[in-house]
Structure 1
Amino acid sequence: MTDEATRTGPMLFLRAAGPEGLRVAATCVRAEGEDPPRFATDRAHEAEAIATRAGGTLWRVEMTLPAPEARYTCDDVEYRVATDVTGDVTLAFASCNGQEEGDLDRPPADRNALWSHLANRLDHEAIPLLLNGGDQIYADEVTQAHPLSQEWPDNVPQSLSGDEWREMKAALDASFFARYTLQWAQEGYSEVVARVPSLCVWDDHDICDGWGSLRRAAQTSDVAKVLFASAREAYLMFQFGCRPDERPEICVGAGRGMSWRVDLPGISLVAPDLRSTRSKSAIMSDEAWGDFAPALDGTEARTFVISSVPALGPRLSLVERAMKLTRRMEDYEDDLRDQWQSFAHRDEWRRFLSHLMAVHDREDSAVTVLSGEIHLAMRGTMQTASGPLHQLVASGISHPAPPEALATGLSLLARLGEAPLRGHPIRLHPLPGKRRAYTAERNYLLLKRRGAAWSATWHLEDSGQTADLPI
């Protein structure tokens, strides 16, 4: 990396929130050997070096930012942060920040158009939290960093010697670090994450395309173990602001999984880890379920569950089974296997929906599911005894929109309906002002609490902002 490329940040990550304000971690990358960044609020904060890789050092400070608004400086540049999470509040949600190939070769003004739109919004609208719904980075090209992983996942050795393991780990560590550093410095995005603390859940591209839904031989190889270890460390550093061997304090359970929960006044944010233990036959292991299920106990009046892949959707199992009749679509098999609606995960999907419905049907409680992954905007509902449980999808913020034909095809499929839990039908609905269930435009989502009422609005790249949707 060049010296210019190794100057990234600041980036804010939420640790805790309450009426008094926000507790955050702030990170920066500086060239190896360069002086640490200078952070200050009402006092100076000494930065801690938490990792050095690829010619850069990641630095961190912990700060408390008082409500209702706070300012801090990094290397004498001032940043203003909205910190009031009581009363009326607006949260942002985004996903799919990249594309599979040539992501950073795109003109920044085009790639980051919606990030720049969100950054400009901060000058006149208080947004104290950014929820990142997965695929914050498209790391698929990281495997090109070492000869033994270059043909991943189709042709890799099953076993590695000790030297090969260490050499590959060092190469992938450096490649992940460099890619995050370059991407985090992107115009528009860098302005948002310096002013709005993030909470992140990962999805496959934060590791590699289709992680967990690939063929068993690749997924159980030593190359896969090295790839996952490097991706996990990078995720900890660049999406939590943690040391590579540190488990975030917001995580729940005692395992190595990274399901987490954060409570704000009247709001619980719960994110199951849908990638760490995923296989072709299971989305979450018994240990992962053991982490997630208790995280739903005693939640606040409004619970947002961040499921990286949509929990409510059309009958994709029909498409998945039809694909078995032809080899022409086998490249899409892992994309369908990734979904809760896959025929391989149907029992687990019912289990997940049952947990959500149990919380939604508690007195004075409501659940809303937030998801990304599909590169389309959509919404759905599942009928319950206490009213509709909403699913909101915002995807992607910088990934190119797919062809209109895909949105049309999925919208037609959605008309078939679905009811994995008997008596609780799932229906997909158009966004406000739209005619079909899926919208093929880049987008991000705003969640608004005004008084006791919640609503959602999508900002669509071409159509503009939708009307508020009560949820």
Structure 2
Amino acid sequence: MARRRAEPSILLGPILYFRGEQRDRWWLSALFVLDGEVEPDDLRVDGVTLPVPPRHLTVWRHRHIWRFDFAVPRGVQDTDVAYGFPDGPSWNIVVPGRFSCPRLAFVCGGGTIGSTVEAGSGGLWPALLARHATERHHLLLHGGGQIDGNAVAAESPRLAAWRGQSERSRASQPFSPAMAEELMTAGFDRTLRQWGQSSVAQTLASIPSVMLWDDADILDGWGNLPDAEALSKVMRGIGMAARRNVSLFQMGALTESPPDCAWDPARTTLTQGFPMGETGVLALDTRTERTRGRMLSDRIWAMLPGWLDRFQDCRHLILMTGTPLLFPTGGGLGRLTAWLPGMAGQARRMTDQWRSPGHHAEWERFMELLTGFSRRTGCRITALSGGGGLGGRMVLRGGGVELWQLLGPTLTAPPPTRWVAEAMERLAARGESPLPGHSLDTPPFPENGRRIVAKRGWLSLAFDGKGQLHARWTSEGDETRYAQAI
């Protein structure tokens, strides 16, 4: 009698990804990492008539990655939908109704663990999961730092040996297959550990995600490395290894086979777009092709107008970028920060912004494109980005357009030091005129007069029936209701 093989065990998952709205269906994918070669059972989903078959993506060190793709019919109002295996575990999600107003949560640094935070603490993931029980988010947007790239790099002995060599030796050394395997294995294992924590796993299984990577997913300050170092074979290899794991876990796909919501036809960048009736989300990848001298390549610049036109029927576009479009200019603050002990990382972040001198011409070009699109179509644009651990908002007014920038604080890593927070508070109090006929302001929150939220937390976004966007910052240990209506 043939011996029956054991059923596979779930090492990670489900990780739920949003794939877009199509007619009256909500398209999703669920990713699992399983131990063993046995093909899992079909997935059962409420409202989906036929069982959903698994698709094998890849295997890494005997751990198999499977994905299930399915479309859930939408009712008039929100629907609680269960999905799971016939004889195994199941999970629940909230599918928005055809007439429901979108409810979103935005997190940054959800996988970045600082030295003052215990690696197993989960940061504010438990609080976010508890809030979801009452606010019932439709989507979870991630603005970067989903995995701790510094911690991944620290687990590679070969990379540590390379860093200990002279600058000349580092420049000439190739990126070896052994180093690539070390980094990919470290990234794979760390993702399983971090995302396998109970509150993180429950959240990722309950709210469909849209993830946008940035420097923290590779190495802190990656976009501001000196050219000689950034162009070295090893550094480029580090980026490619990180990109492989980011594609797999943050998009739920192989690099060479992205989902339809990935809009770059060359499969180079990880830009994703989601027109959803009157609301749109564009997660613009400003990491893949960024250098010290540019944010976007000429190829992406050529496609941007067409991408924006896909949202011309929307009333409101949420534009996600890895670094803020609107941010107080630091002046000499960045140079001073670079001299302070332990502040080199913060200095790099402050000099790698859209409005930094090296990117300012591109920023003006982008603002002209965005404001022109908004005037022509009537679609309001709100930019959504991480703020280097700081929360807050800025507004650009002029030329008949009002464009808001919302900054999300960090979810797990500690926020910047009090000194940096106070310095940014002072900078934010200054009004600016960055473009002719335009003003840039950072309004104080009426509750306490502060402009910057310098604590861990997250950002909730909800639209009302009139199309108005309501943003609310949740700040750790602070009951102040930081809010903004747009």
TM-score w.r.t. the length of structure 2 is 0.88
Between 189-198 and 311-320, the greater mean CA deviation after superposition: 311-320
Is residue 320 of structure 1 aligned with residue 331 of structure 2? no
Task: Please give the root-mean-square deviation of Cα atoms over the aligned residues, in Å.
Answer: 2.7
**Which consecutive residues of structure 2, in runs of 5 or more, have no partner in the other structure?**
1-7
Would you say how many aligned residue pairs link Structure 1 and Structure 2? 464
Give the drift of 1:175.
Answer: 1.3
* CA offset digits 1:315-373 (Å, max 9, x no partner): 12432355689999655442222211211111111112222212332343201011114
* CA offset digits 1:365-420 (Å, max 9, x no partner): 20101111410111010002335211111121111122333221101012233332
For 1:323 and 1:462, the matched residues in 2 are separated by: 27
Is residue 345 of structure 1 aligned with residue 349 of structure 2? no
Q: Which residue of 2 aligns with 1:80?
A: 92
Q: Which residue of 1 aligns with 2:11?
A: 7
Contact 1:213 1:278 in 2 (8 A): no
Contact 2:220 2:345 in 1 (8 A): no
For 2:410 and 2:41, the matched residues in 1 are separated by: 32
For 2:343 and 2:14, the matched residues in 1 are separated by: 43
For 2:92 and 2:339, the matched residues in 1 are separated by: 56
Q: Which residue of 1 aligns with 2:71?
A: 64
Contact 1:135 1:373 in 2 (8 A): no
Q: Which residue of 2 aligns with 1:127?
A: 137
Is residue 173 of structure 1 aligned with residue 180 of structure 2? no
Measured at CA, do residues 171 and 336 of structure 1 come closer, stay the same or move farther in structure 2, by a change above 3 Å?
same
For 1:424 and 1:208, the matched residues in 2 are separated by: 35
Between 125-134 and 29-38, the greater mean CA deviation after superposition: 29-38
Measured at CA, do residues 136 and 327 of structure 1 come closer, stay the same or move farther in structure 2, by a change above 3 Å?
closer
Q: Which residue of 1 aligns with 2:273?
A: 261
- For 1:400, give the aligned amino acid: P
Aligned residue runs from structure 1 range 347-362, under 5 A: 347-362=361-376
Q: Structure 1 vs Structure 2: percent identity of aligned residues?
A: 25
Between 30-39 and 412-421, the greater mean CA deviation after superposition: 30-39
**Which consecutive residues of structure 1, in runs of 5 or more, have no partner in the other structure?**
none
**Which of 239, 246, 265 is the aligned partner of 1:228?**
239
Between 262-271 and 248-257, the greater mean CA deviation after superposition: 248-257
Give the drift of 1:6.
Answer: 6.7
SS at match of 1:362: helix
Q: Which residue of 1 aligns with 2:29?
A: 25
Contact 1:304 1:370 in 2 (8 A): yes
For 1:373 and 1:221, the matched residues in 2 are separated by: 29
Contact 2:349 2:388 in 1 (8 A): no
Contact 2:409 2:454 in 1 (8 A): no
Is residue 294 of structure 1 aligned with residue 306 of structure 2? yes
Contact 1:414 1:437 in 2 (8 A): yes
Between 426-435 and 176-185, the greater mean CA deviation after superposition: 426-435
Aligned residue runs from structure 1 range 390-469, under 5 A: 390-431=404-445, 433-452=447-466, 453-464=468-479, 466=481, 468-469=483-484
Q: Which residue of 1 aligns with 2:3?
A: none
Give the drift of 1:78.
Answer: 2.3
Q: Which residue of 1 aligns with 2:43?
A: 39
Contact 1:234 1:244 in 2 (8 A): no
- For 1:117, give the aligned amino acid: A
Q: Which residue of 1 aligns with 2:226?
A: 215
Measured at CA, do residues 13 and 122 of structure 1 come closer, stay the same or move farther in structure 2, by a change above 3 Å?
same
- For 2:24, give the aligned amino acid: E
Is residue 16 of structure 1 aligned with residue 16 of structure 2? no
Q: Which residue of 1 aligns with 2:4?
A: none
- For 1:77, give the aligned amino acid: P
Contact 1:28 1:58 in 2 (8 A): yes
Contact 1:272 1:307 in 2 (8 A): yes
